Amino acid sequence: MPDTALLLNLSDVLKTTVDNILYGGTVVCKAYKKISIADVIKGFEAMDTIRQTLGTNSLFYQGMVEGINQKRI
């Protein structure tokens, strides 16, 4: 198996990203989805139900919050 850690150094030297190296320079389009306010409210309500059921010390709850906090568009 190749050492993928070398890709980070290679991307720095080439002043590009690892994604550009792996995709061979092809353009990768990100799909954007629309979401309704009602769906956002349902999501927050579901999160609150999970918090109340499992507690804030639950690894599942903490992972869910951490994943949302780290999400980048």
User: Are 21 and 12 contacting, i.e. CB atoms less than 8 angstroms apart?
Assistant: no
Does the pLDDT of residue 27 top 80, yes or no? no
Strands, E assignment, the chain = none
- Note the pLDDT tens digit of each residue in 35-66: 889 998 999 999 999 999 999 999 999 998 88
Its pTM surpasses 0.75: no
Q: Where are the domains of the chain?
A: 1-30, 33-73
Predicted local distance difference test score (pLDDT) of residue 9: 84
Question: If you search the block for the tokens 């919050």, which residue do you land on?
Answer: 65
Angle at 4 between CA 2 and CA 17, to 5 degrees: 135
- Note the pLDDT tens digit of each residue in 6-16: 888 888 888 88
